[in-house]
Chains A and B, each alone.
Chain A
Amino acid sequence: MASLRDTHIGTAPGKTVLSASDLHRVVDRIAHQILEKTSGATGTVLLGIPTRGVPLARRLAARIHAFEGIDVPVGALDITLYRDDLRLHATRALGKTEIPGDGIDGRRVILVDDVLFSGRTVRAALDALSDVGRPSSVQLAVLVDRGHRELPIRADYVGKNIPTAQSESVRVSLAETDDGVDEVRLSGSEDPR
């Protein structure tokens, strides 16, 4: 359907900006950067933001384990109940929140998400996080930063910066959530619903 609509409006069909192998390299690089910037990921917890932040966080933990043999606790932090745009959409189903057994108090939390855009999701995540506990610091890792920030928020780890037009859409597919496909595509303006 998406390609049909793209053709119809005369834009090139969505183009792949990260292939599967690109994506794997990018995850590897972020894992290395985390190890570097956190002195071996000690006292660190990775919290993925549903939906695709959660498998990304798990992949990062798996790569960190592969590189250094370190087990970083991984969890999920759903931010739906903290969103500032609930009234603009039909009611959203909640995602899972799973905080690792030892909690987050006094630890370095790295929030993981697929795309950084307006920054509002991260703002909501910071609110949600403060209701869960008191981390010593919070960092942010994203696969793609597409710009257009509406809040003073930046990422500590960025897989790839992709300059986009506001009307374009970035679509991240991960094997765990998207029928085994790993890729990132950029496509023309979506039907503005």
Chain B
Amino acid sequence: MIKHLRSAADLDAETATLILDTAGEMAALAGREVKKLPTLRGRTVVNLFYEDSTRTRISFEAAAKRLSADVINFSAKGSSVSKGESLKDTALTLQAMGADAVVIRHPASGAPHRLASWVDGSVINAGDGTHEHPTQALLDAYTMRSRLGRLDGLNVAIVGDVLHSRVARSNVLLLSTLGARVTLVGPPTLIPIDVAAALQPGLKVSYDLDSVLPDADVVMMLRVQTERMQDSYFPSAREYSRRYGLDAPRMRKLPEHAIVMHPGPMNRGMEIAPEVADSSRSTIVEQVANGVSARMAVLYLLLGGKA
């Protein structure tokens, strides 16, 4: 088993499939009255959050607690982090506390890689800068597989601000590993340079959402921050929404079985229309529930055996 989950590229097809299968078992257990399992009793999981992300932190916290791990939340507010302690010094503190795993959310790309060089425990990337968010990709893949029955051969369109999206990077890597065909869609300003060479040969890029929809099994809408306008990535929210937003007429171009995903939090009316977000195609609420199961699976597989 792998020791760290820093990038979706840490996962080969076999390991990724094992995590999804395990997540399935965890999801089945989540339906019971007694949700707690004794599996990680005596293990310590630290949530080290340098960015506010209540939903991700709660998801990891619920996952760790359902497996009976001790959870320590170490957030930027109300700790030495805000007093400017370096990541390395914080890492040495966590090391001294005997953390078996550190879940890290950080605004700087690569912070989990740095952390892994300073602690003995497992490092799980809960989102680093504009780099990756591998557990989000796992829960997304899990959601696709439970809705559509497979990943191999699925056409997945990832739409929006790919340039700044850690969700997009992790999804491209993981979905490609599992045999899905990904198309990135967005204005050229928000598609990173050399993206196919960087992430996956054969990765497709389109600047035209309408042409991609009829063949898509999955459409994943990324959050687009309106601040990007100031940096001239696109002229206005209105123009962005017209060209790349998913509204009801566009949704009708999708095949009957296709699903609509969003990692949240959504900008309703910007990248996704309310009637799309609330439609039966939307998996947005399921994604949240699946997040706990996927993270339980990751914690179990990283911590559930001999260290």
| Interface residue ranges, A against B (CB under 8 Å) | 78, 81-82, 86-94, 96-97, 127, 130-132
- In the complex, the answer to whether A131 meets B37 with C-beta atoms within 8 Å is yes
Residues on B with beta carbons closer than 8 Å to the beta carbon of A90: 1, 305-306
- In the complex, the answer to whether A92 meets B304 with C-beta atoms within 8 Å is yes
- In the complex, the answer to whether B38 meets A91 with C-beta atoms within 8 Å is no
Residues on A with beta carbons closer than 8 Å to the beta carbon of B302: 91
Query: A78 vs B25: C-alpha distance in the bound complex, in angstroms?
Result: 10
Judged by a CB distance under 8 angstroms, whether B285 is at the interface is no
Judged by a CB distance under 8 angstroms, whether B196 is at the interface is no
- In the complex, the answer to whether B306 meets A88 with C-beta atoms within 8 Å is yes
Interface residues of B in 182-224 (CB under 8 A from A): none
CB of B225, distance to nearest CB on chain A (Å): 38
CB of A110, distance to nearest CB on chain B (Å): 21
Query: A142 vs B300: C-alpha distance in the bound complex, in angstroms?
Result: 29
- In the complex, the answer to whether B301 meets A91 with C-beta atoms within 8 Å is yes
Partner of A91, one of B1, B25, B36: B1
Residues on A with beta carbons closer than 8 Å to the beta carbon of B38: 81-82, 127
Query: A177 vs B304: C-alpha distance in the bound complex, in angstroms?
Result: 25
CB of A193, distance to nearest CB on chain B (Å): 12
Residues on B with beta carbons closer than 8 Å to the beta carbon of A130: 34
Sample of 5 A–B contacts (CB below 8 Å)? A82-B39, A87-B305, A89-B305, A92-B304, A131-B36
Query: Which residue of A is nearest B302, CB measured?
Result: A91
Residues on B with beta carbons closer than 8 Å to the beta carbon of A92: 304-305
- In the complex, the answer to whether B18 meets A93 with C-beta atoms within 8 Å is yes
Query: Which residue of A is nearest B296, CB measured?
Result: A81
Assuming A81-B300, A91-B300, A131-B34, is B306 touching A97 (CB within 8 A)?
Answer: no
Query: A131 vs B28: C-alpha distance in the bound complex, in angstroms?
Result: 13
